[in-house]
Amino acid sequence: MASDLETRIKDLEAKVQELNDVEAIRNLRYRYHECINESRNGDIPSLFTADADLDFGHLGKVKGTAGLKKFFDALDKPPSSPGQPPLYSFVKQFIHNHVVHVHGDTADGFSYLLATPVHKGESYVVAARYDDECVRQNGQWKFKRMNLTAYYMVPLREGWAQEDRIKMGK
């Protein structure tokens, strides 16, 4: 009987650890969007491993802390033309359906995005999917890889009922 109880306790401890890990990874994703929504782009690289890969398709691909810093710093800066507004003068992102699979000290998952940026002075609507790989480093979960797949990125006035659904960032 004691062996059965020990097994049940070990199973319960493993399940609690898995649930804690899932919640920690979800909090990592939430912190990323909080940084975006609150214009704290400088805090974003700390959410990633030093050798992380970021692939946002036509919006850009970078690797490592320096690449991430340059990528996210550029979101708040005007293009090289004088008098132009920042590339994204306003953005709010909302994620949902966040699925996480934990495999010990690694994890993968995905979430869906609805975003409402102002891009080059125009209101846009964005729907996309994030695919992530995470690792536990020094007891903390970090992004190892983040991919963004856009479903549509279109001016709000145009909507997405058209063939060319990727217009932002071109």
CATH number at residue 16: 3.10.450.50
| pLDDT tens readout for residues 26-41 | 999 999 999 999 989 9
Does some domain include residue 6?
Answer: yes
Q: Please say if the pLDDT value at position 18 is more than 90.
A: yes
Q: Which two tokens stand for residue 73?
A: 């710093």
- Segment 39-49 shows an average pLDDT of 95
Question: What pLDDT sits at residue 73?
Answer: 86
Quick check: 1 pLDDT over 80? no
Number of CB atoms found within 10 A of residue 51's CB: 10
Q: Let me know if residue 126 belongs to a domain.
A: yes
CA gap 42, 138 in Å, rounded = 22
How does pLDDT run across 98-157, given as a tens digit for each residue? 999 999 999 999 999 999 999 888 999 999 999 999 999 999 999 999 999 999 999 999
Per-residue burial over 112-123, b if 16 or more Cβ lie within 10 Å, else e, is: ebebebbbbeee
Q: Note whether residue 164 is domain-resident.
A: no
C-beta of residue 17 within 8 angstroms of C-beta of residue 102: no
Least confident stretch, 5-9, 20-24, 122-126? 5-9
pLDDT at 71 over 80: yes
The tally of domains found in the chain comes to 1
Provide the terminal-to-terminal Cα distance of the chain, rounded to the nearest Å: 66
Q: Is residue 160 part of a domain?
A: no
Q: What are the phi and psi torsion angles at 13 (to 5°)? A: -60, -40
Domain limits for position 137: 2-155
Domain-embedded: residue 168: no
In a domain, 140, yes or no: yes
